[in-house]
């Protein structure tokens, strides 16, 4: 009591034949019957004493509300059209809190009253093609046309928005997004929902922006691939140059150090090689190694010379010893002893003869 009453959308039902009036489709049906609907707002009037005195009723031409949906063109940069093309799949529509469609390019699917002032029953799957042009669409019973329709109604009834892929009666596959319209007055007070706005875009056009982005991404990727290839080639060149530099600064000195080692095996001191390695413009571990190798080589050669001298001296001692042993082995024989005795006897007789006068 005392609240403003707001009615459902009220209109006489418009059939398919009435809207088309011989035209091929709703877009061309300029001379066809229009969907003339109203929404009533009513408020009670009370006297000064507080007794009910009557009602104030205002009727809103529903075209002002319906236009918010009917002029939406989701695939246009202006997002506006005078009247949408149902066959294209690019249009918006509305349904109320009871599931009746209340804004749509096809007027014969909209909620309406028959000649007796009763709601025309919803279209069903078992109706013929001609009969379907005489009944409005109610999403609660529209699973036969698209299984997503009851799903959309249930979600909106819970105050949820969403996104589905639907197919209209012209066969257009659409990407449809929907959102509830909250309104807590009159017949909508209990649910707090007036209905919902659904906007559909034909899949190919819906993906057009994404495809453009995809093309742009592909172009950027190709450019990046070329840049990466150049980087890889450049890196390879740098690696080769570094390899050459490493070979010249490390491998070559190491090989020369190996030549010095080979010379050392022959007992030679590779002075020129070791000096050049120690006096390199860039001093590194190889230079230090050359210095250590030089010291080691000098010690080895010095020790080799000392060892040779010791061996030579030892050989002399061994030769002298052998000579003494040979002499001793000769003098100790019986023959040499007899010879010595004979020589001694001969020297004695000779001396005796010299001392004896004649």
CB count within 10 Å of CB 263 equals: 17
Q: Percent of the chain, pLDDT > 90? A: 41
Whether 347 maps to a domain, the answer reads: no
Same domain for 66 and 160? yes
Same domain for 180 and 218? no
* CA 197, chain centre distance (Å): 36
Same domain for 237 and 150? no
**Which tokens in the block code for residue 192?**
């707090």
Same domain for 177 and 230? no
Whether 117 maps to a domain, the answer reads: yes
Strand-pairing partners, residue 58, are 41
Same domain for 12 and 50? yes
| Burial of 215 (C-beta count, 10 Å sphere; 0-12/13-18/19+) | exposed
Domain of residue 176, CATH code? 3.30.450.20
Non-local CB neighbours of 179 within 8 Å, separated by 6+ positions: 156, 161, 196, 197
What pLDDT does 355 receive?
66
User: In this structure, what are the phi and psi dihedrals at residue 138, rounded to the nearest 5 degrees?
Assistant: -120, 120
Same domain for 175 and 283? no
pTM of the model: 0.60
Domain boundary among 148, 182, 206: 206
Same domain for 42 and 190? yes
* Most confident segment among 46-50, 71-75, 111-115, 180-184: 111-115
Domain residues for 95? Answer: 5-206
Burial letters for 222-242: b for 16+ Cβ neighbours within 10 Å, e otherwise? Answer: eeeeeeeeeeeeeeeeeeeee
Same domain for 266 and 194? no
Domain boundary among 153, 177, 206: 206
Whether 202 maps to a domain, the answer reads: yes
Whether 121 maps to a domain, the answer reads: yes
**Which tokens in the block code for residue 216?**
């742009």
Count of the separate structural domains present in the chain:
2
DSSP code for 251: I
Domain boundary among 184, 206, 228: 206
Q: Of 15-19, 47-51, 60-64, 131-135, where does mean pLDDT reach its minimum?
A: 47-51
């Amino acid at each position: 009591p005392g609240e403003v009453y707001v009615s459902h959308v009220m209109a006489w039902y418009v059939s398919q034949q009435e809207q088309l009036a011989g035209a091929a489709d709703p877009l061309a049906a300029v001379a066809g019957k229009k969907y003339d609907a109203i929404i009533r707002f009513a408020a009670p009037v009370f006297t000064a004493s507080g007794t009910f005195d009557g009602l104030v009723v205002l009727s809103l031409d529903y075209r002002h509300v319906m236009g918010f949906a009917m002029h939406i063109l989701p695939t246009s940069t202006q997002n506006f059209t005078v009247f949408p093309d149902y066959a294209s799949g690019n249009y918006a529509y509305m349904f109320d809190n009871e599931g009746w469609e209340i804004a749509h390019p096809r007027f014969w699917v909209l909620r309406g009253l028959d000649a007796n002032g009763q709601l025309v029953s919803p279209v069903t799957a078992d109706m013929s093609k001609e009969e379907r042009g005489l009944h409005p669409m109610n999403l609660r019973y529209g699973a036969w046309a698209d299984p997503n329709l009851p799903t959309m109604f249930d979600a909106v009834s819970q105050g949820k928005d969403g996104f589905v892929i639907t197919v209209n009666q012209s066969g257009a596959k659409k990407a449809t997004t929907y959102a509830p319209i909250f309104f807590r007055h009159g017949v909508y007070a209990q649910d707090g929902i007036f209905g919902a706005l659904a906007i559909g875009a034909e899949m190919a056009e819906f993906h057009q922006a994404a495809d453009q982005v995809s093309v742009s991404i592909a172009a950027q990727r190709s450019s990046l691939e070329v840049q990466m290839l150049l980087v890889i080639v450049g890196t390879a060149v740098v690696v080769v140059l570094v390899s050459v530099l490493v070979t010249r600064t490390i491998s070559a000195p190491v090989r020369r150090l190996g030549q010095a080692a080979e010379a050392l095996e022959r007992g030679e001191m590779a002075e020129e090689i070791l000096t050049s390695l120690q006096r390199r413009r860039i001093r590194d571990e190889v230079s230090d190694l050359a210095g250590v190798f030089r010291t080691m080589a000098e010690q080895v050669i010095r020790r080799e010379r000392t060892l040779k001298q010791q061996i030579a001296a030892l050989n002399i001692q061994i030769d002298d010893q052998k000579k003494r042993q040979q002499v001793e082995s000769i003098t100790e024989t019986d023959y040499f002893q007899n010879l010595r005795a004979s020589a001694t006897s001969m020297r004695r007789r000779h001396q005796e003869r010299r001392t004896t006068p004649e």
